[in-house]
Structure 1
Amino acid sequence: MWVQRVIELTGWEPLGISVDWAAIEGELGVPLPADYKELYEAFGGGVFSDSLYFLGRDESLAFDFLTQWRVSLSVDHDSELGGVSAVEPYAIYAPGGKGLVPWGSTEWADEYFWLIDAERPGEYPVLARADDVGAWHRYDMSTSEFLYRVLADADFQPFGVARYALSPTFEPSSGNDE
């Protein structure tokens, strides 16, 4: 329902990307949210409303979900950085553990993650923070509902981009030429 609302809001024609979910979820060690998979297959990676960066499939890697997760995990576990996580008080999810997996951000340094616990597959609360160092906000809603509210609900504070009167559009990354 929410994926369809995002599609209708943006006027997007779904790409129908074929995805090897077994390989992606095998690397992560957990299943991903079903609605995120629908968004990924419909949109790939790219930019909503000229400001919200959505991680999906992207051959150029800038918007590639797995690439960005691997980079975040590598940086989060780099011992030369002194053991401080960029997502304190959390950590980036490592297979079999509990932590954050990035799926989106904005040009204003807002960041969107799922809190994933390998021992509780199927639970995907959205954790978001504004300005890269702001307080964490937890949303017990689907990825697509959160995305829709950010794009369409001007009162969805502090993350709603609709308050800036941005057109609800989607621009695919250069690597999504289907």
Structure 2
Amino acid sequence: MWVQRVIELTAREPLGISVDWAAIEGELGVPLPADYKELYEAFGGGVFSDSVYFLGRDDGLTFDFLTQWRAALSTDQDSKFGKVSAVDPYATYAPGGKGLVEWGSTEWADEYCWLIDAERPGEYPVLARAHDVGPWHRYDMSTSEFLYRVLADADFQPFGIAQYDLGTTFKPGSRGGE
């Protein structure tokens, strides 16, 4: 339902991208949210409304969530940085554990993540924070509902961008569609 709303909001035809989700989920050690996979298959990675970055699975490119996750995990686990995490008070998700995986962001440095707990597969609350310094806000809703509210609901504060009248466009990062 929410994925369809995002598609209608952007007036785009779904791309129908094929992805080896089993390999990706095998590396993560948990299944990804079904609606996220549906969003990615429809859009690919790219930018909504010229400001909301949606990470997908584009090997080695800017909009690849797996590349971003690997880099964040490597940094989180690097002992020269001590116990400090870029997603404090959380940690970056490591297979078999509990932590954050980023799936989106904005040009204003807002971050959108899932809180993944390997012991609770199928639960994917969205954690978001504004400008890298604010507190984390928890949303017990799907990825696609959160994205829709960011794009279309001016009252969805502090993350709604509809009041800025940026339009509801989508520009693919690397997998065609334009």
Q: TM range, normalised to the smaller chain?
A: over 0.9
The equivalences for 1:1-178 within 5 A come to 1-59=1-59, 61-173=61-173, 175-177=174-176
Partner-residue secondary structure (3-state), 1:160: coil
List per-residue Cα deviations over 1:97-121 (Å, max 9, x = no partner): 0000100000001000000000000
Q: Is the 8 A contact 2:59 2:67 kept in 1?
A: no
The separation in 1 between residues aligned to 2:57 and 2:5, in whole angstroms, is 21
The separation in 2 between residues aligned to 1:18 and 1:147, in whole angstroms, is 22
Alpha-carbon deviation of 1:163? 1.2
The separation in 1 between residues aligned to 2:59 and 2:144, in whole angstroms, is 23
Q: Is the 8 A contact 2:45 2:54 kept in 1?
A: yes
The separation in 2 between residues aligned to 1:103 and 1:97, in whole angstroms, is 18
Alpha-carbon deviation of 1:125? 0.2
Whichever residue aligns with residue 96 of structure 2, its letter is G
Whichever residue aligns with residue 38 of structure 2, its letter is E
Larger deviation, residues 80-89 vs 32-41:
80-89
Partner-residue secondary structure (3-state), 1:171: strand
The separation in 1 between residues aligned to 2:20 and 2:29, in whole angstroms, is 14
Whichever residue aligns with residue 89 of structure 1, its letter is P
Q: Is the 8 A contact 1:53 1:105 kept in 2?
A: yes
The separation in 1 between residues aligned to 2:24 and 2:31, in whole angstroms, is 9
The separation in 2 between residues aligned to 1:118 and 1:161, in whole angstroms, is 32
The separation in 2 between residues aligned to 1:78 and 1:134, in whole angstroms, is 24
Alpha-carbon deviation of 1:60? 5.2
Partner-residue secondary structure (3-state), 2:62: coil
Alpha-carbon deviation of 1:59? 4.2
Alpha-carbon deviation of 1:170? 0.3
The separation in 1 between residues aligned to 2:75 and 2:111, in whole angstroms, is 16
List per-residue Cα deviations over 1:10-68 (Å, max 9, x = no partner): 01111100010100000000000000000010111000000000001224510011111
Percent identical pairs in the alignment equals 83
Cα RMSD after superposing both structures? 1.0
Output the TM-score relative to the length of structure 2. Answer: 0.97
Alpha-carbon deviation of 1:78? 1.4
Could you tell me which runs of 5 or more consecutive residues in structure 2 were left unpaired when the two chains were aligned.
none
Output the TM-score relative to the length of structure 1. Answer: 0.97
Could you tell me which runs of 5 or more consecutive residues in structure 1 were left unpaired when the two chains were aligned.
none
What is the number of residues matched between the two proteins? 177
Q: Is the 8 A contact 1:36 1:143 kept in 2?
A: yes
Q: Is the 8 A contact 2:60 2:67 kept in 1?
A: no
